[in-house]
Structure 1
Amino acid sequence: MRKILILSVSAGSGHMRAAEAIKAYATEFPDVEAVHLDAMDYVSSGFRSIYTDFYLHLVNRHPAVWGYVYQKSDNALPSATMQKLRRAMERLSTRALRAAINDHAPEAIICTHFLPAEMLAREIANLRMTCPVWVQVTDFDLHSMWLQPHMQGYFAASEEIAFRMASKGVNPAAIHISGIPIMPAFAQPLDRAHCAATFGLDARRPIVLMMSGGAGIGGVDKTVQRLLSMDGNFQLLAVAGKNVELLANLQQIADKHPHRLRALGFTQQIEQLMACADLAITKPGGLTTSECLAMGVPMIIHSPIPGQEERNADYLLEQGAALKAVDLSALEYRLNVLLQHPHLLAQLRSRSQALGRPHAGRTVLHTVLQQLESKSQQRIRKTDHVPHSSTSVEDAVTI
């Protein structure tokens, strides 16, 4: 069995979902054992708070501050004082993770977050590890912290990201355009009417899916109230993620509009929600938008987080796979236009389907395994070509 270790960080849900998607595709390879570890399970509570709780607090309460941090860290030199301090904190806080990696003794490691990649780059540089490490970028953008020395290879979400990697000094031979890994379920054909009935929706009426990300970030309840004030026969399917307070607010609204709104919390059936949706109103996280593209679901981008989400939105808009609403009035206008002009909705759907890479996880694993096999064959050939001495054991002892 080839042992593949997938490392992620639970700062938001996207990095974790990408790791789980790669692990899920490993079942297609009978000789592969894939294990997924959350790096945050092996660090102190203080370090975890900085990387997860503080991140979520910033993007939800102070998005402009997060945008500033994103931009400054992208342009920071590795020799900058704050960068050195951050790396020192990581070294002190990730010893247990290094021990866990040694215990698993993998043949290859795939990182869906830059933190474990950065930590392993130091291990390789200090000759404490020889295991090849791969990096899967989980946005349609490239932040400099994803690029680490001594990596075996990189998986890019698009041709543009691959080009930008090469322009920053990454060997083009080490760059692979895979897309962003999503679960195999998003590649399966699903019946719209059946999926709609599963959630108590009428497939004969337009269905608009509203998503706020796995953490339930954003004022979805206020947006829902605004959209329900519109004229129209459409139904809203609002997903609150893990935000319990948001779900309770949405359920109160749904009680007043039982035939127009369905409210859901965190769900593992998101592919079925997308299968019955005519349109998605969503924040542009890398994983969510990749899922929509794979399912051919047109998108209206709403309330992107400054930084990676704004850049994801830019990519989708440039590719003609989404529209963007800058405020609630713009959202209401764009929704009206798309529902009243089905051919515009069909154009967005066509562009989404053209960009989708539903089997990205398979591509990632196939590439990693192919290189492992190639190296194994090289070692075998080298062994076969080692010249054998004709000196007998007795002669050797005498010598």
Structure 2
Amino acid sequence: MGKRLLILTAGMGAGHDEVAAELARRLAPDGFDAAVVDVLDLLPLRLGRGLRRFYHGMILRTPWLYGALYRRFFVPSGPPRVSPLVVWMAARLDRALRGRPPDAVVSTFHLAAQVAGRLRESGRLPAASIVLVTDFAVHRLWLHRGNDRYLCPDEAAARTVTAATGRPATGCAPLVRPQFRRDARPVAEFRSADRPVLVSAGSWGVGEVAETMRVLARSGRYLPVVLCGRNERLIRRLRGAGAGLVLGWRDDIADLMAGAYAFVDNAAGLSCREAFARGLPVVSYRPIPGHGRDGARAMADSGVSVYARTPAELLDALDGLADPSTRDRQVARAYALFDAPAAEQVVTASA
């Protein structure tokens, strides 16, 4: 009988779920029976759905409010106060695991890390608890001393985690799907002379991508290709502007990246790691407040991307990528992240 792995995630956008699914896929050949649980589903009275809708609406319509909440609750130093949400989640998860505990637990969302850490610290979770941090900028809600080990986007983030928790932390190769490889075929809908720049709004279609689209189109040097996710209203609005190519949810992003000149991002999430794997340079512009803005700074500080703060800086960053040495240097720094230990190897050794 294979080992049982519990992966705790949360459907706050697509990134956390996709990382969880990819980890489960990679561990299946080693005989792991992986169960993926959304911690928001552990809340009673459909509170998890309400929390997801609230966050979605806030990011979409009042991002300044999320930025204020992030500064108030996510950024301050020291361990966070125990949230009633975490207490409820931990109690329900504890009951669900009685009688058949997993051999290892991996958390890919910050509230999940709080839940697993609470159970582990109290002795109610006998299995090793590993936190797979998906944010380049590690805020304090990721941190709980009860967890056994942290896997981080890079060594700078790992040092931050160890200093705050005293727990072992190391860099970890990004978990991206196998189709994001450097030999992916270019997509036919781009002409070689177009210089297409992918502009990501995430699965929810958030951020100031309309402004980004205007800057690129007005320059006359780039074709903006805006990835609007599942935001149908944004798709209609941008298509009405007629300033570039506007796309909804796509399953062939790897192929689109193969034919693109650069990737402009606003959330510092999984899509950036996919671009890194594909060898596509990343420029952050107008990131969403909170973890998006802090993540953009952290990625730029590590040299794997460029953070453009003005329209002129955005165009300068893109123009600079026409120089092969500049382009190759940025791509090489980003691709070096994949030299770190693979998450599945760490989980296998811990289970």
- Tell me which interval the TM-score lies in, with the shorter structure as reference length: 0.7 to 0.9
State the partner residue of 1:130: 126
Q: Note closer, same or farther for the CA distance 1:286–1:346 as it changes in structure 2 (3 Å cut).
A: farther
- The whole-number CA distance in structure 2 between the counterparts of 1:231 and 1:152 is 52
**CA offsets 1:232-257 (integer angstroms, 9 cap, x no match):** 3x43321101211112223334xx56
Letter in 1 for 2:330: R
Give 1:287 deviation, angstroms. 1.4
Which of these residues, 173, 176, 199, is aligned with residue 210 of structure 1? 199
Give 1:93 deviation, angstroms. 5.1
Which of these residues, 306, 312, 322, is aligned with residue 342 of structure 1? 322
SS where residue 120 of structure 2 aligns? helix
Letter in 2 for 1:319: S
Letter in 2 for 1:7: L
Give 1:16 deviation, angstroms. 1.6
Give 1:201 deviation, angstroms. 1.8
Contact (CA 8 Å) 1:43, 1:93: kept in 2 or not?
yes
Give 1:66 deviation, angstroms. 2.3
1:305 and 2:298 aligned? no
Contact (CA 8 Å) 1:108, 1:368: kept in 2 or not?
yes
TM-score by structure 1 length? 0.78
- The whole-number CA distance in structure 2 between the counterparts of 1:222 and 1:308 is 21
1:25 and 2:26 aligned? yes
SS where residue 92 of structure 1 aligns? helix
Which of these residues, 213, 232, 244, is aligned with residue 244 of structure 1? 232
Q: Note closer, same or farther for the CA distance 1:12–1:98 as it changes in structure 2 (3 Å cut).
A: farther
- The whole-number CA distance in structure 1 between the counterparts of 2:301 and 2:13 is 25
- The whole-number CA distance in structure 2 between the counterparts of 1:50 and 1:186 is 34
**Aligned-residue identity in percent:** 21
The aligned length equals 349
Q: Note closer, same or farther for the CA distance 1:292–1:104 as it changes in structure 2 (3 Å cut).
A: farther
SS where residue 214 of structure 1 aligns? coil
1:151 and 2:134 aligned? no
Give 1:24 deviation, angstroms. 2.5
Contact (CA 8 Å) 2:180, 2:274: kept in 1 or not?
yes
Letter in 2 for 1:92: W
Give 1:366 deviation, angstroms. 0.9
Q: Note closer, same or farther for the CA distance 1:349–1:236 as it changes in structure 2 (3 Å cut).
A: farther
Contact (CA 8 Å) 1:112, 1:136: kept in 2 or not?
yes
Contact (CA 8 Å) 1:14, 1:285: kept in 2 or not?
no
Q: Note closer, same or farther for the CA distance 1:358–1:3 as it changes in structure 2 (3 Å cut).
A: farther
- The whole-number CA distance in structure 1 between the counterparts of 2:307 and 2:106 is 33
Contact (CA 8 Å) 1:299, 1:322: kept in 2 or not?
yes
Which of these residues, 371, 392, 398, is aligned with residue 350 of structure 2? 371
Structure 1 unmatched runs, 5+: 373-399
Which of these residues, 204, 208, 224, is aligned with residue 219 of structure 1? 208
SS where residue 186 of structure 1 aligns? coil
Contact (CA 8 Å) 2:78, 2:140: kept in 1 or not?
no
Which of these residues, 71, 91, 94, is aligned with residue 87 of structure 2? 91
Give 1:111 deviation, angstroms. 0.3
TM-score by structure 2 length? 0.87
User: Residues 1-399 of structure 1 correspond to what in structure 2 (within 5 A)?
Assistant: 1-27=2-28, 29-44=29-44, 47-49=47-49, 51-73=51-73, 74-75=75-76, 78=79, 83-84=81-82, 87-92=83-88, 95-102=91-98, 105-171=101-167, 174-187=168-181, 189-192=183-186, 196-197=187-188, 200-232=189-221, 234-253=222-241, 256=242, 261-328=244-311, 330-332=313-315, 334-335=317-318, 337-338=319-320, 342-343=322-323, 346-356=325-335, 363-372=342-351
Give 1:112 deviation, angstroms. 0.4
Q: Note closer, same or farther for the CA distance 1:131–1:103 as it changes in structure 2 (3 Å cut).
A: same
Q: Note closer, same or farther for the CA distance 1:92–1:317 as it changes in structure 2 (3 Å cut).
A: closer
CA RMSD between the two structures = 2.8
